[in-house]
Amino acid sequence: MARSHWRIGVAGLGTVGAGLIGLIAANPGFSPAGGACEVTGVSARSRARARPVDISGLAWFDDPEALARSEDNDLFVELIGGAEGPARAAVEAALRLGKPVVTANKALIAAHGKELAALAEARGAPLLFEAAVMGGTPAVKMLREALVGDEVEAVAGILNGTCNYILTEMEATGRSFAEVLAEAQALGYAEADPTMDVGGFDAGHKITILAALAFGCAPTLAAAEIEGVESIDLLDLRLAKELGYRIKLVASAVRSASGVSVRVHPALTPLDHPLARVDGVLNALFIQGARTGRIFIQGAGAGAGPTAAAVAADIADVMAGARRPVFQRPAATLEAFSPVSPAEATGRAYVRLIVRDQPGVIASISETLAEAGVSIDSFLQKHVEGAGGVPIVLTTHVAPEATIARAVTAMAALPAMITAPRVIRIARI
């Protein structure tokens, strides 16, 4: 595909699409491979909507699929979003014609990555998606290209800036989840419907993609265990800090002899772990490689500038003749995902109880844990104004998660218990 001039069709003119059009207009020769590119056609939902960039000279398509099929562009960029609907149809249409595709769509790649990779590879068309994970911070290329000589054992990251902003602000200001969420919505950090972010689903899409890249398996969204931050309260943020941890929404993928485990959940992260020091809307990723050891990257996970820059880097790769498999290896050789069964999962947990202030409570808690076979690593009893009883916090040593769950159920039934125990896992990498 030796071409000196590339004509680009851009579907989606929102935050990222407008950012990309502005970037290319300002610097059409950004590709280090030489040559130039220009946006020739665009598509969005509303033609009448005012845009922050000038699209007056560009061909307009009501239908993104028609733009993807148009012979007036050589490269199709999909910035609409969503796993189904127009984004999927347009990407498939372009790939069927052998046209290179660049997308920032994590939902699409997490849900249909293997089929799209097979189509792209069969038609000899690059399919690149750097911006889909961590926006402007290059995580996809690092796992797909820079680390192919290593064996990645685990990845763990803070992959959702909205959740990290909310947790950081709650901790810093002592405000509740609901108050900080409302502020994040007013500042534009959180959507009007925040479910994708605070429910952990956005991070779930991203860790599904990273797991596929790290371990050479097909992206399998259904295998990710997902829990959000909605039920984190200030009391736990404060008590965790006293024990030497910060609570973060951690997305992780770990490979062991029993399979691969992919999870998103609030996790107590030791204060000296690099992930514990990530504040505000930043994203970060920690990688454990068998040969490389520990790698840590941190940067912007969203926003017009950083995300458009990641899309532009993929366009530059296409212009330079990118010819790699879509994932770390050809689609036909991606391994089936083999999840660790819940019965085999082990870990450590933080358990917070609110109990009546009466003699013998601590002894009954210790006996319950001992009977279940769970040993305690640390124990904290703390008077907290307004807690509605005496908060007791304990952290466990590593134990089967099913055993910890049984012990918690038994503790919940103790007569001194005022509220249901709160269990938060302790970060595993």
Ligand X SMILES: NC(=O)c1ccc[n+]([C@@H]2O[C@H](COP(=O)([O-])OP(=O)(O)OC[C@H]3O[C@@H](n4cnc5c(N)ncnc54)[C@H](OP(=O)(O)O)[C@@H]3O)[C@@H](O)[C@H]2O)c1
Pick 189 or 286: Cβ nearer ligand X: 189
Residue closest to 254 by CA, chosen among 151, 333, 327: 151
CB of 243 vs ligand X, minimal distance in Å:
34
Phi, psi of 150, rounded to the nearest 5 degrees: -110, 175
Residue closest to 389 by CA, chosen among 238, 235, 174: 235
Give the nearest residue (CB) to ligand X.
Answer: 14
CB of 333 vs ligand X, minimal distance in Å:
27
Pick 44 or 128: Cβ nearer ligand X: 44
CB of 22 vs ligand X, minimal distance in Å:
13
Separation CA 34–CA 76 (nearest Å) = 19
CB of 135 vs ligand X, minimal distance in Å:
4
Pick 5 or 45: Cβ nearer ligand X: 45
Pick 64 or 421: Cβ nearer ligand X: 64
Which residues of the chain form contacts with ligand X (CB under 6 A)?
11-17, 43-46, 49, 64, 79-81, 86, 104-106, 131-132, 135, 302-303, 307
Query: Which residues make Cβ contacts (< 8 Å) with residue 182, sequence separation at least 6?
Result: none
* Cβ-based burial of 89 (10 A; exposed 0-12, middle 13-18, buried ≥19): middle
Pick 132 or 232: Cβ nearer ligand X: 132
In this structure, are residues 275 and 427 in contact, taking their beta carbons and an 8 Å threshold?
yes
The alpha carbon dihedral of 29, 31, 35, 39 has a sign of: negative
Residue closest to 126 by CA, chosen among 105, 148, 83, 95: 95
* Interior/surface letters 360-385, b for 16+ CB within 10 angstroms, e for the rest: ebeebbeebbeebebeeeeeeeeeee
Catalytic residue ranges: 206
CB of 252 vs ligand X, minimal distance in Å:
20
